[in-house]
């Protein structure tokens, strides 16, 4: 059994009187793909915001590699190795793909800004990371193109690359395939699945069909609570899960 990278313990989030997240316990294992699914209003985004430090939990604890990060700032979490790849684009449109990745790689080592004499070395390390990421994400042919010129699907791939370039302990993704066409969705699914070999990925997904063949573990949420957690096959066949998604099955969201 691999080590736990991230865990929550009795985590609750309140908006005024409303309890959006109630006593959530879950754990993400190293080098796995872990998805969080659930119908609208289940509390997925609230959970992510708590993990990123954007909302302060009303109760409970968050640990990263055994260290309590419940009160850590947003930037502290990034420094400790929590990287995000989000729908909201964070790319520098006029800079080349390679330059975007280099900035992301160097952002992972902010203390080097205080040691300018080590500049050439850190730059070399960053460039090596950039080459690795370009190869891994099949972006080599696009390395010198401006990020703003890439297709939507290519930009989303680059965003994942930006997260990887920071050499994170944990990669958070919010609906990584939302707004994508069918071909791009297949590519992103393959990419996320392959990341699980040597990265820890946690992502939110609204569409249950998408997560089932790429996740090692699925946590299903409903009304602010964990309904069930387990491997995809177990989760898919759970009667409670099917009931939670019933409304969406009618609109064809469950596959
Ligand atoms: N800032 C907020 N203020 C008040 N209620 C909120 C706020 N954000 C979310 N909620 C409510 O909390 C519940 C969970 O929302 P959310 O975490 O966005 O769920 P999901 O991402 O699963 O759709 C919903 O009922 C939503 O209306
Ligand atoms: Mg949401």
Using the mean position of ligand 1's atoms as its centre, give its distance from the Cα of residue 20 in Å.
6
Q: Tell me whether strands 170-174 and 201-205 are parallel, antiparallel or unpaired.
A: parallel
Q: Point out the ligand 1 atom lying closest to the alpha carbon of residue 224.
A: 14
In a domain, 10, yes or no: yes
Number of domains observed in the structure of the chain: 2
Domain boundary residue, one of 134, 167, 200:
167
pLDDT tens track for 54-73: 999 999 999 999 999 999 99
Segment among 49-63, 95-109, 110-124, 231-245 with least mean pLDDT: 110-124
With respect to residue 87, please indicate whether it lies within any of the assigned structural domains: no
Q: Are residues 177 and 143 in the same domain?
A: no
Residue 195 has pLDDT above 80, yes or no: yes
pLDDT at res. 134? 97
Same domain, 112 and 68: no
In a shared domain, residues 178 and 75: yes
Of 122-126, 164-168, 179-183, 193-197, the poorest mean pLDDT is in: 122-126
What is the average per-residue pLDDT within 77-82?
88
Q: Is-above-0.85 flag for pTM?
A: yes
Look at residues 117, 139, 167 and tell me which one is the last residue of a structural domain: 167
Residue nearest to atom 27 of ligand 1 (CA): 41
- How much is the pLDDT for 122? 74
CB neighbourhood size of 138 (10 A) = 13
User: Which tens digit of pLDDT belongs to each residue from 111-136?
Assistant: 444 444 545 557 888 899 999 999 99
Q: Do 5 and 63 fall within a single domain?
A: yes
Same domain, 98 and 219: no
> Which ligand 1 atom is the nearest neighbour of the CA of 42?
22
**Domain termination site, one of 142, 167, 192:** 167
Instruction: Kindly report the backbone phi and psi dihedral angles of residue 178, in degrees, each rounded to the nearest multiple of 5, phi listed first.
Output: -65, 140
CA 12 to chain centre: 20
Q: Which domain holds residue 22?
A: 1-81+169-255
Longest dimension (CA), the chain: 62
* pLDDT at 24 > cutoff 90: yes
Q: Supply the mean pLDDT for the chain.
A: 87
Displacement of CA 165 from its chain's centroid (Å): 14
For a ligand 1 pocket test, name from 12, 16, 38, 45 the mutation site with the most ligand atoms within 8 angstroms of its C-beta.
45
Query: Which residue, 85, 251, 254, 91, is CA-closest to 177?
Result: 85
- Residues having C-beta closer than 5 Å to ion ligand 2: 44-45
């Amino acid at each position: 059994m691999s080590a736990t990278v991230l865990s929550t313990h009795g985590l609750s989030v309140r908006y005024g009187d409303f309890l959006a997240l109630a006593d959530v316990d879950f754990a993400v294992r190293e080098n796995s793909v872990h998805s969080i699914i659930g119908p609208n209003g289940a509390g997925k985004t609230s959970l992510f915001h708590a993990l990123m430090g954007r909302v302060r939990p009303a109760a409970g604890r968050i640990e990263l590699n055994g260290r309590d990060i419940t009160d850590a700032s947003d930037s502290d979490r990034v420094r400790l190795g929590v990287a995000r790849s989000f729908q909201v684009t964070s790319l520098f449109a006029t800079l080349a793909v390679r330059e975007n990745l280099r900035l992301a790689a160097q952002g992972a080592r902010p203390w080097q800004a205080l040691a300018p004499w080590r500049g050439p070395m850190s730059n070399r390390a960053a460039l090596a990371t950039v080459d690795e990421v370009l190869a891994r994400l099949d972006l080599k042919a696009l390395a010198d193109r401006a990020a703003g010129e890439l297709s939507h699907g290519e930009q989303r791939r680059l965003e994942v690359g930006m997260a990887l370039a920071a050499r994170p302990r944990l990669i958070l993704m919010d609906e990584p395939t939302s707004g994508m066409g069918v071909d791009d969705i297949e590519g992103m699914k393959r990419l996320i699945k392959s990341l699980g070999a040597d990265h820890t990925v946690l992502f939110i997904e609204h569409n249950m069909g998408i997560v089932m063949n790429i996740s090692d573990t699925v946590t299903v949420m409903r009304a602010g609570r964990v309904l069930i957690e387990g491997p995809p096959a177990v989760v898919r066949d759970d009667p409670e899960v099917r009931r939670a998604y019933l409304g969406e099955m009618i609109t064809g969201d469950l596959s």
